[in-house]
Structure 1
Amino acid sequence: GPTLLSPQKCCICRHRGASVRCQHENCSRTFHFPCGRERGCVSQLFGEYRSFCWLHAPKQQARPVPQEHRQCTVCMEAVEERLSFNTLTCPACNTAHFHRYCVQRQARIAGQHRFHCLFCWDVENIRTEMFRLGIQIPSMDPESDEEEDCQELSQQNSSCSAGTCLCPNGRGYCGTAGPWRLLLCRSCGSRGTHRFCSTVTDSSDSWECANCVDTDSGK
């Protein structure tokens, strides 16, 4: 996952407390999560939660279908002629284009089960590509009990106790799934963390806080 380091200087704002490092080989840039998002860095909020600086962020290689007046298929406003960090395309049709902000907003509203290309209705290709490009597509399974889990965590006054919380919505935010889902310590049950903040992968629901790790190791 994105390597969470002891406080270092952010290569973007030059202030200390940078906790995300570019995962590209031979790159040592570290940055704050919000600074990276503004500068064009990409954090893949799934699987191993890898992050990349603006120079090594994944880019689209598609050749868009020529269009005279290219518009965002979400907001219908003009987009750049070339693909970039802020201008993306559907990999299935190479015809639909969208602003990063707009497709992120669409993804948050639709969730994984309803997110699709608004032009060709592709689901699998665009979802995989948007994940790769750092778009967060939340899981919204109506049959899951994750909403109840969040209510229970809220009642316990749990929050993210990671050394540096990277969640844009703060330490107390509890997502229903994905990187901002709040997990409780398996040993004491009193401290919590967002998956992303402690690099807990999607395949694991188990986490132990630093206090309990120290206790277990006899410190």
Structure 2
Amino acid sequence: MDEQKSNCEENDSEPTECVQACALCNCVERSLHGQRELRHFGPFSEWLALKPSASPLPQPGNDDLSSIGFSNSPCLAALFDASVCWVHHWCAVWSEGVKLMENEKLENVDKAVISGTQRLCEYCKRLGATIQCHAEGCSRFYHFPCSAASGSFQSMKQLFLLCPEHINKAEELGEEAWCAVCDSAGELTDLLFCTGCGQHYHAACLEIGATPIQRAGWQCPECKVCQTCKPGEDSKMLVCDACDKGYHTFCLQPAMDSLPSDPWKCRRCRVCTECGVRGLVLPGSAQWFDNYAVCETCQQHRSSTCGVCSKPANPSVALQCCSMCH
């Protein structure tokens, strides 16, 4: 029977009130999109006179790319709480106009935050975008997670990106645009950017996909860490078949004793194709079927309903169970 019991759940921490979120991408610190640590910048003297905001910021986004950034322009007083703003390291470093100084000090982060409140991301069409395409004359801006999700080329050495329309200009960078496996630029649109080391890999060379959720926060095999404990013991690592993120078996809730032999999906990537319920909203004891495509409730409905007439089973008539979908 094709059944996977979800006793391999991530130790998720849901955003709560007063949780700090990035003033650019609106994600919390333990984001899956590779923005690195959440840093506070300031105090900025020009924002000391701001009165506390009566309009709180929207609920932080995190795992869903559709929740990156802001749907409406956020209030500056809410972003600069006590004249301090919180921004992920990579969101700040890659922003247009921000300067990286000695000891990793950054200048003009406040200016980037202000400009982001009025600038739409080319990929998600939400506000907070501050990373511009490096091609001359191009006016496209992105959030850091969206730049990867869009398939843009990212250069960690030079801290700039090339949008999909201008990605061919990456060939001018020589070896920096080469795949770490095949040592060639090859198909530039197939390159994945590692948020850990900055190297590029062809998805085809690693025999994995290149979907937006895989690209955002992607880590190469050498840099991949558990998304629950981050850098830690490098053993018993499970890799999600959908998003390619890694999790220790012992960091899951409840923990797993061994690595499963079948393809595995993290809770964030489990979506029932019949009712649309997502894995994160179900209890840890829930079961999944058909490669995590059918939830326990829908599977039970399948088992008690005729697949032809859709009527409940008659006690006097036995239903025949399909060996594939059950």
TM superposition score normalised by structure 2: 0.24
Q: Which protein shows a greater Rg?
A: 2
TM-score, scaled relative to structure 1: 0.32
